[in-house]
Structure 1
Amino acid sequence: MSCLMILCLNLRSTLSKKPNPRLEKMISTRERQVSDLGLMRRYEPDEDEMKQVFDKMSNNKAKIEFEDMKALLERLKVHDAAHEAKQILQTVGSNKDGSVDFGDFMAVHRKGGVWTSDIVSAFKMFDQDGDGQISAKEIKDMMGRLGEDCSLEECRRMVKEVDKNGDGLVGMDDFMAMMTRTMKLSRLPSSSTIALP
């Protein structure tokens, strides 16, 4: 359910209505060279997966309410989760009660998409020791924060499914491939790219 984290980050970045150039500058040259990700790629999320994520975020209700969003942000250790949750819901939601229904949820993700920088941010949240790799233990820890209960053995199986070089770890390329496998790549006009130093 790491899509949940990415979409939450994406909802937060929606407040600015565009990719975060400061985040792009923070991504190291090594990461750009090793993974050849194309930092300004945008993906369109799969609607069936989006419905699963929405149901998880809303606790299987018709709307994501303030307490749902705040609880998720707190589990992700977002500073001032209450303030962030309120801003997200006010910006994204069209309902007078401050909630987000599935139509709002899809509209913001269709409009903004999922940027490569959102996926890189999620990778860095999983990579708790900052070594550029995600271990099964790091997956277990983050899944627990997201409210998903899985054993270390289940997490090892998850790693094995996406680990291309067989080292028992998930690198940036593995993570990117896993997160985008059901998403369509969006075409962007050349004027939407940001020059990196």
Structure 2
Amino acid sequence: MAKSSPTIETNYFDKVFRKFVANGDGKISITELGSATPEHELKDVMSDIDTDREGFIDLEEFIEFQRHGCNASDGAAVNKELREAFDLYDLNKNGKISADELHSVLKMLGVKCSLKECQKMMSK
């Protein structure tokens, strides 16, 4: 996979990626991934993202997955991926993402964004 030039998007993905890498080795292990993924989905998520099958997710694999998501041509698989992404933000599991939930998740990911900015995003 060719390295792309740094962009705002790449810098954002790098920041999010670093939140998962607890031990600082530059790779996400299945244990580290488990901190943000339900246990019953870990192996599926890992196999989707770890394209070189080395047992770790490196930054390039993480960025590729974030940019392109599910590679399946199957609509059900795409819907499942979208549902999982939605569920990460729907903290109270009421089927809606509030500005408070968006703010909490972005804060957890290390993204600097005020509640007022999240409210503005949600209104758009």
Gap change, CA 1:158 and 1:64, over 3 Å in 2 = same
1:48 counterpart residue number: 11
**Is the counterpart of residue 100 in structure 1 residue 57 in structure 2?**
yes
Which residue identity lines up with residue 99 of structure 1 in the other structure?
Answer: F
CA distance in 2: counterparts of 1:130 and 1:94, whole angstroms: 34
Count the aligned residue pairs: 102
What is the aligned counterpart of 1:121 among 78, 86, 92? 86
Higher relative contact order, structure no. (Cα contacts within 8 Å, ≥ 6 residues apart): 1
- Please tell me whether the aligned partners of residues 55 and 61 of structure 1 are also in contact (alpha carbons under 8 angstroms): no
**Is the counterpart of residue 159 in structure 1 residue 101 in structure 2?**
no
What is the aligned counterpart of 1:110 among 64, 67, 71? 67
With normalisation by structure 2, the TM-score equals 0.57
Gap change, CA 1:105 and 1:134, over 3 Å in 2 = same
CA distance in 1: counterparts of 2:52 and 2:85, whole angstroms: 31
With normalisation by structure 1, the TM-score equals 0.39
Gap change, CA 1:65 and 1:147, over 3 Å in 2 = farther
CA distance in 2: counterparts of 1:53 and 1:147, whole angstroms: 11
What is the aligned counterpart of 2:44 among 78, 81, 87? 87
What is the aligned counterpart of 1:62 among 13, 26, 37? 26
Residue 161 of structure 1: how far off its partner (Å): 2.5
Render the CA deviation track for 1:158-188: whole Å, top value 9, x for unaligned.
Answer: 2223334xxxxxxxxx3385xxxxxxxxxxx
1:175 counterpart residue number: 122
- Please tell me whether the aligned partners of residues 65 and 99 of structure 1 are also in contact (alpha carbons under 8 angstroms): yes
Residue 49 of structure 1: how far off its partner (Å): 0.3
CA distance in 2: counterparts of 1:91 and 1:119, whole angstroms: 13
Local SS of the residue matching 2:45: helix
Which residue identity lines up with residue 86 of structure 2 in the other structure?
Answer: S
1:40 counterpart residue number: none
- Please tell me whether the aligned partners of residues 102 and 118 of structure 2 are also in contact (alpha carbons under 8 angstroms): no
CA RMSD for the aligned pairs?
Answer: 3.8
CA distance in 1: counterparts of 2:53 and 2:45, whole angstroms: 14
- Please tell me whether the aligned partners of residues 119 and 176 of structure 1 are also in contact (alpha carbons under 8 angstroms): no
2:73 counterpart residue number: none
Percent identical? 18
